Amino acid sequence: MARRYWLMKSEPGTYSIQDLAREGTAPWDGVRNYQARNFMKNDMKVGDLMLFYHSSAKPSGVAGVGKVVKKAYPDFTQFIDGHAYFDPTAEEEDPRWWMVDVGFVETFDEVISLAELKAMPSLKKMLVVQKGQRLSVQPVDKQHFREVLRMANAKTRVR
C-alpha cells in the first residue's frame, strides 16, 4: 500500500508543532469523533506523512509536517476518570477511542495560513478549505500535500 497523506488539527495551546519538535514523538490522544477515529484506526500506516494544522490560532494554518510512527492503539485517556478526555461509556475490553503516535518531521518557517490555502486555486478541493469542514483528522491528496510543501518552501526563499 502506498503511503497516504493526512492533515491533523491541534490547538497550539494544547499541543503545537513546537511541542512535537521538542518531544520527537507523541500520542495523538483526545480524538472523539468517529470519522476521525476511523481514519486513524483503519487507514493510517507507519510512515504516512501528515500536515500539522494549528486550529484556533493566529493565524490558523499548517505549521509543519509530522509522520505516523506507531499504528493505532487504544487511547488510554478514555479510561482515566476525571481526565478531560474521559469517556464513562468506554470499556477496557472494547475500547471506543483509538490513536496513533506521531513523530516530528519539520516546522515551517512560517505558518501557511488557512487564508493562503483558500487563495490557492490548486487547493480548491482540499478538504480543510471547504466550508463547514471541521474534521480533526482528514485525508489529504498527494498533490495537495506537495503543493502545501511547495508553498512553505517558497515562503522561506522569499524572506
Name the site residues for DNA (rule: CB under 7 A).
9, 11, 32-35, 55-57, 60, 114-115, 118, 131-136
HSE-CB for 114 with a 13 A CA cutoff: 17
Distance, CA of 98 to CA of 100 (rounded, Å): 7
Q: How far is the CB of 157 from DNA (least distance, A)?
A: 25
Phi, psi of 126 (to 5 degrees): -65, 135
Q: How far is the CB of 33 from DNA (least distance, A)?
A: 6
C-alpha cell at 29: 490522544
Please, which residue, 120 or 135, has the CB nearer to DNA?
135
Please, which residue, 25 or 33, has the CB nearer to DNA?
33
Q: Which segments within the chain are labelled E, that is strand?
A: 5-10, 25-27, 49-54, 61-74, 98-113, 137-140
Q: How far is the CB of 19 from DNA (least distance, A)?
A: 17
Please, which residue, 46 or 133, has the CB nearer to DNA?
133
Please, which residue, 11 or 43, has the CB nearer to DNA?
11
